[in-house]
Amino acid sequence: MPMLSEIRRVGSRQMTTATIQPTKRAPIMFGVFMLFLMCLGHGFGQTAIPDTPAGKILQAWLDAFNSGDRAKAEAYVKTFDPKGSADSMLTFRSQTGGFELLGIESSEPKLIKFRVKEKAGPTVAIGSIQATNAQPPTVENSSVRAIPPGAVVENVKLDAAARQRVIDAVVSDLKEFYVYPETAQKMIDGVRDRQKQGA
């Protein structure tokens, strides 16, 4: 059975709500979800945005996104996210009504993970921003993903051995079950790169 998903743009990023029907790819999806959960660090429930490079980008993004103002959106894109788009940011802003920051899930100097809620509806989402090493820092990558209604996202802490077992299982499932081997390898390379970065 197919995987059903709803995708909305967040700036130049995508916001996805997915309902996964049972398939042979279920182990892959579970593994990817576990990787996402294990990346969440300490600090659950904080609402103050840390004064870090990634935190400053998050604050600037929220200010520009919530304003609904074209000049502010363009200034944000020019300063912090040159690969982004003010048009797509404003389009998504009109759909969500903006975001209320519910909490900071984890924070490192160049990586911040956060939880937000749509102002125009009940949707809650998990987001992340990875900052570059540039001065001033800019967005290397970012995402905002909707949490399906009734789902619970918890901070899961794994030691190094357990983390390695999860990653190895995801890599194995991708190689065995993913339909497109080239895409699977790109995903594996991405997971390995993030592992090397300590993410």
Report the distance separating Cα 138 and Cα 107, nearest Å. Answer: 16
Give, for 64, the enclosing helix (H) or strand (E). Answer: helix 53-67
Indicate the average pLDDT of the chain.
80
Report the distance separating Cα 11 and Cα 24, nearest Å. Answer: 33
- Token pair 């802003």 is found at 93
Structural domains of the chain in order of their starting residue, each with its CATH number:
7-15+23-157 (3.10.450.50)
**Residue 16 bridge partners (DSSP):** 7
**3-state SS, one letter per residue, for 96-117:** HCCEEEEEEEEEECCEEEEEEE
Contact between 8 and 95 under an 8 Å Cβ cutoff? The reply is yes
**Whether pLDDT at 27 is above 60:** no
Task: Supply 115's token pair.
Answer: 């939880």
**Whether pLDDT at 153 is above 60:** yes
35-44, 59-68, 175-184: the lowest-pLDDT one: 35-44
**Residue 117 bridge partners (DSSP):** 100, 124
**CA torsion through residues 192, 10, 2, 115, sign:** positive
27-31, 48-52, 93-97, 112-116: the lowest-pLDDT one: 27-31
Instruction: Read off the pLDDT of residues 127-141 as tens digits, 9 standing for 90 and up.
Output: 999 999 988 899 999
- Helix (H) and strand (E) counts in the chain: 6, 6
Cα-Cα-Cα-Cα torsion 34, 95, 78, 147, nearest 10 degrees, comes to -10
pLDDT for position 50 = 95
Q: Kindly give, in sequence order, each residue whose CB lies less than 8 Å from that of residue 30, ignoring residues fewer than 6 positions away.
A: none
